[in-house]
Amino acid sequence: MIKIGVLGDIGSGKSFVAKHFGYPVFNADKEVSDIYKKDKSCYKKIKKKFPKFIKSKTLKKDELGSVIKANKKNLKKLSDIVHPIVRKRMYLFFKKNKRKKMIVLDIPLLVENKLYDENFYLIFVQSNKKEINKRLKKRPFYNKSIINNLRKSQSSLAYKKKISNFVIKNNFKLLNLKKKIKIIKKKILDERNSS
């Protein structure tokens, strides 16, 4: 099984790239969202840790946003509760797709949490900062200070680009991007088939 890790800035188009490989994708943001909605033990732990902020019966994005905004150390505390659950789900995803030729991991903290090894192909999605910020502002829960806190919790983009096997320049033009993904996918499969 070939494992692909997609790296890049928040809003650079990582999920789009991951999805268009045409193989099963583990999307950590979607998993976290699902955990917040359905995982009762996670809810209890977060409520116990941040009783001042969590008032709803389920975890709400605006309340979690207030937790992160209140103190930048809170992001780490939240992560310590949520990440072990995400990791468990990731291993289940591996198990479920073990017969697939390729799987794609769309995990913002893939590098920071050392969730990859030398057998991975890392793809860095590079986008124009101005374009990224324009797109982020359109998101329903956009908050500049939360985005900045999230960025600070991640390794530098220069480092992620340096360790990547491939770089995709995303100019947010659909056909262009699909073509680049197709070329990289072919290179990876050819390399694996010849080794």
pLDDT in tens, 105-150: 999 889 988 888 888 999 999 988 888 777 777 776 666 776 777 7
List strands edge to edge, sheet with 102-106: 25-27, 102-106, 2-8, 120-127, 166-170
pLDDT of 6:
96
Contact 1, 102 (CB under 8 A): yes
Contact 17, 177 (CB under 8 A): yes
pTM of the model: 0.87
φ, ψ for residue 126, nearest 5 deg: -105, 125
CA distance 174 to 171: 9
Domain range summary for the chain, segments of one domain joined by +: 2-194
- Does residue 91 have a pLDDT over 80? yes
pLDDT of 187:
94
CA angle 69, 13, 59 (to 5 degrees): 35
Query: Which ranges of 3-155 does DSSP label H, i.e. alpha helix?
Result: 14-19, 28-38, 40-49, 61-70, 73-96, 129-137, 144-152
Strand 166-170 and strand 120-127: the pairing is parallel
pLDDT in tens, 3-25: 999 999 888 889 989 999 999 99
pLDDT in tens, 67-76: 888 887 888 8
Q: Which architecture, in CATH terms, is 2-194? A: 3-Layer(aba) Sandwich (3.40)
Higher pLDDT, 80 or 147: 80
φ, ψ for residue 74, nearest 5 deg: -65, -30
